[in-house]
Structure formats: structure tokens, C-alpha cells
Structure 1
């Protein structure tokens, strides 16, 4: 067990209120008595009033005046906190400054040796993410605040592949981070229906005088899952789809926002899906052809035939263009 883990364990042992001898602590932690006294010195330096009393009724204890225990983390917990901060920054989490401030408070409570250990442990992981628009953080904060207050907001939204902006009033129910993008699930007053908005396309959020009540137990995760289920073209019949390929390409395929809900089995070289035939025929040929020769459809024959027809149609289109 690492030094800092032993210190934490010793602290909790002493918080029981009982006097313990150095030998008892050493036996419990499976360390030497000499190490016990080194850890006592380190705890005292951290502000923990540990007292070692000699004599027949002596022992090691914490003074009764000590009411609050300083926050101690073992090395793995500290690493997890720092790494989580890196992931939050990469995702564009709107409260990274507050998270960084909290981490600074934790790091300031560490000894120099512990800070050096932490630097070594966390130096091997970085999170690389795409550039995000500068107004994203502000929009995320405003939307979360509006959801908390139950306030209707007016958003300036830009649809994909267009420079045209449109104004909408929405009731923001909740945020979700999916496929490296932030989404707002909201009730749209213009459509009178639930809609999903990519937050990086929301250029401005303005509060209105309107108020709303979010449905009890609402979950953005459940909403995304339900929407994927509803995109099925028909109720059946269901069919098995087997696709082989390199692991990285299968990973991309299995992460697809729609297909991932139909994944039933995955090995290193093969993925199996179960979905209805109309959905398969409508969406899969066009999507799977984008992988080129990096994947191969094993079953069903009907899907292979439709991919062949799609590829042939594309080839003929450009062949006719050159003639």
C-alpha cells in the first residue's frame, strides 16, 4: 500500500476514538513501527493533532478538539480527479473553471512529495478535442440555469449547412453530451413538440417572461434512446445483420447514433445487429458504402445485393458523366 494510502488508513483508525499503540497500527497496516511514527509526523504537519502518549495507559490518539478531518485521497483517487478534469475540459464542460478551483484546493492541501507523485501519475494522459466556439460555455451555462429555474428562453439557432439564423422560444428540459457534441432537449413553442438542438449552433440565449414545468423524471438519455427506437421504419420482420472488419472501423460502426441501439454481439472482428428489414433497406446500403472495403457484410444476402446496386449506380453515374 502506498504511503498516502497508509496515512489515510491510519487517520480513520485513530478517528475511532480509541488509543492505539504503534505496534497495533503497524500490525494492522502491515508496516514497520518506524513507518508509523513517520506517518504521524506527516499527519501532524497536515494539521491533524495526533498525540503519542507514553506510559501504561499511553498510546496514539487524536485530540478531542479535532472536529473535522482534512480531506485525504489515495493516489488513485487523486489521479481520477485530475483525469476527470481533463475529460471535462475536452468536452467543453461549462464549469471547468470551478472544477479547476476545487482541484487547486485539493492540491494545496498536499505535501510536496504527494504533489510530485500526482504529477508523475497524471502526466501520461491527455484529452484532445476539436475547437469549440467561444460562446458555447456561455450557452451551456444559460441553458442549464434556465432548466433549473424553469424559465422559457429565446434562442438564435443556425441549422446545419446553412448560414440562415432562426429565432425560437423553447423550454430547455436538459443537456446531453453525445458523440462529442452537446445537445439541448427542449420543448419548441413553434413546433409544439419536443426537439433536439445542437448547442454549438445556438448563437444566443435570452431569458423570456415565460415559465414552464419540466416533466417529472425527465431524462435526456432516455429521450435520445426513445427517439432512436422510433426511427424504425416498421415493426418487423426482424433480421440479423453480420458485418466483419478491422476493429477501428467496427468501433466507428457500433458507435453510430442509430445502429448502436441494435447491436447484439461484438467480437474483435465482427459485429451483429438485429433490426427490421425496412430500416435496413432504407439506411444501411448508403451508410455502409462509406466504409469502402474496410468492412464486409456477411449476412443477409439481401443487404449485400442492395450495396452492390448502390455502388453500381454511383459508378454508372460518373461513367455516364465522362462519356
Structure 2
């Protein structure tokens, strides 16, 4: 707490120049006596702060002195402002905290870095959710986040992908925002797994605390879990598909796996611009729905059973509109 207050005192003097003890005390909501002690501590640590006495006096730093925040380069400082996601912080109840942190960082920067950061804020806006998708704000996100911060166990009712409900006691190690969906990575039943927070129907923080493994790597676990999930999902084998130009321009709608197939396996286009690709599928039913949205701009070549399913779907659609 005191270290944070000392930094705040230093930043106030750096950004505003000369300030009286009363002014510093008012800004930090502490006593004047506390300000005196903090100024002495700053001076003892090597910060060149001095006092001018008299009615117009106060504390100020030696001209030209600035803290450099452990030597951030201009590009590093600008990247911090580019990376800060207001929407993400807002979901976790940290929006005002992020704003305050960025103001403190901005105040501590030399002029060149401050100019670059301001330019980034003026000219780059990150809107992470995809088109026509609202970011998830699950009702139990704040409860889960609190359990993560405080290392408290959670008792949840969780709805699995097939709709069945299970009860779990979880030790939550971390939060992940994947696109617009929030996940909690937690240990339950002796193993670590990822749970989509929007599928948590009830959540209650339990008494006690758990020990978070000191060597647990959230980023590394999520990468491994994501790769394992993709391998699990695409069990339907491969489909050979002809993709027309119009479908190719909208192929991004099928997600990164299909996009990768179009990019990596497409042969040379024919005279009409159609290309042949090989793509993994989850199941025939998933492929029927996904590829069916492109209508006549996609043709399944193989396997024969999927081609027959697509033909029957087209015939059923034709009868519906006959």
C-alpha cells in the first residue's frame, strides 16, 4: 500500500510540478503528516525532491528528473496502450482501474513516449468481437473472477454441451477470453479442464482457500487444450469440396479450420474460378449445415455418403418451395 502511495506522490510531482503538502494530502486522501513521511522516504531512496518554504512554496522535483518506468522504450509504451481492452476490463469490473492505470502510465512517460501513446489512442481502436456477435457477459462471471483472484473454491452447476447438468467443485486457476466467450480453467475431480462460463447456471464461492500450482502456465495450458479440442471435434474425416468464387469470398464464416483448408489445399482454379479443397469435418450433419449455407456455390465431391446427403437436402428444399 505504501509503495503505491509513494509512486502516486512521485507521479503527482512529476506531472504537476510544485505542490504543497496539503495539496498532496488532498489528492491521495491521507494526512499531511503522512505526506511528510513519504517525502522523506522518497528523498532517502534517491529521488531528488526538495522543498521551498514560504506562502508560495511546496515540494517539487529537480528540473529534468523523470522516472522512466524501468526503461520502457517508446514502442513498448505505445504497445501497452494498444493492448489494453476496455471491454474485457469492464466485464471483470476493472474498467475504472484500467483507466487509472493508463493515466498513471501516461503521466510517467517522457514527452516522446507520451506523444506516441496519445497517437495510438487517437488512431487505433480495437473492437474484438466479430461482426453480428455480441460479447458474452455471463451472469456468474464476477463470481468466478472473484474466486480466481482470491483462490477460493467454487461450487457450480454446469450445463454440458449435450444439455445435461452436472455439479462440480472447482479450483479456478485462471480466466480466458476466446473471441467473445469467457472460459475458466479450473481443477475439478483431480484434473484440470476449461469450462465455458456462460454454461454455468449456478455458482457459489465456498469457504477456505486452495493452493494454485506455482508452475501452472495458463497460456500454455490453453494452447494445448485448444489443440486437443480441435482434434476431438473433427472426427468426421475429410471431405473433398469444390468451392466457387462467391463461396470462397465468404469462406471465413466457417471458421479458421475451413479457412486453413482453403488456403493450404486448394488446387489451381478452373476456367470458372472454382477450386478443389480437402477439409476436415466434425460430422456429416455439421457439414450439411455448414456447406448448405452456400447453396449452389459449393459442391461436395466425396465421400459419396455426404454428397448423397447434400443432394437429398437440396431435393427436400426444392419440394418445400415447389
Report the counterpart of residue 183 of structure 1 in structure 2. 183
How far off is 1:108 after superposition?
Answer: 0.6
CA spacing shift, 1:298–1:71, aligned 2, 3 Å: same
1:184-263 matched pairs, under 5 angstroms? 184-189=184-189, 196-202=194-200, 204-208=203-207, 219-233=221-235, 238=238, 240-241=240-241, 243-244=243-244, 245=246, 249-255=250-256
Aligned length: 244
TM-score (norm 1): 0.55
TM-score (norm 2): 0.55
How far off is 1:252 after superposition?
Answer: 2.2
The reply on whether 1:138 has 2:142 as its aligned counterpart is yes
Deviations 1:123-154 (CA, angstroms, capped at 9, x unpaired):
222233435437555234234336xx4x5311
Question: SS of the counterpart of 1:219?
Answer: helix
Structure 1: stretches of 5+ with no match in the other structure? 1-43, 49-67
1:52-201 matched pairs, under 5 angstroms? 69-86=68-85, 89=88, 92=91, 95-110=94-109, 115-128=114-127, 129=129, 130=134, 132-133=136-137, 135=139, 137-145=141-149, 149=151, 152-157=153-158, 167-172=167-172, 174-189=174-189, 196-201=194-199
How far off is 1:181 after superposition?
Answer: 0.6
Distance 1:231 1:263 in 2: 19
Quick check: 2:234–2:283 contact (8 Å CA) kept in 1? no
Distance 1:102 1:271 in 2: 52
Structure 2: stretches of 5+ with no match in the other structure? 1-61
Report the counterpart of residue 296 of structure 1 in structure 2. 298
Distance 1:205 1:195 in 2: 19
Distance 1:120 1:71 in 2: 22
The reply on whether 1:307 has 2:305 as its aligned counterpart is no
Kindly report the root-mean-square deviation, in angstroms, between the aligned alpha carbons of the 2 structures. Answer: 4.6
CA spacing shift, 1:157–1:281, aligned 2, 3 Å: closer
Quick check: 2:78–2:113 contact (8 Å CA) kept in 1? no
Which residue of 65, 80, 100 corresponds with 1:47? 65
How far off is 1:180 after superposition?
Answer: 1.7
Question: SS of the counterpart of 2:223?
Answer: helix
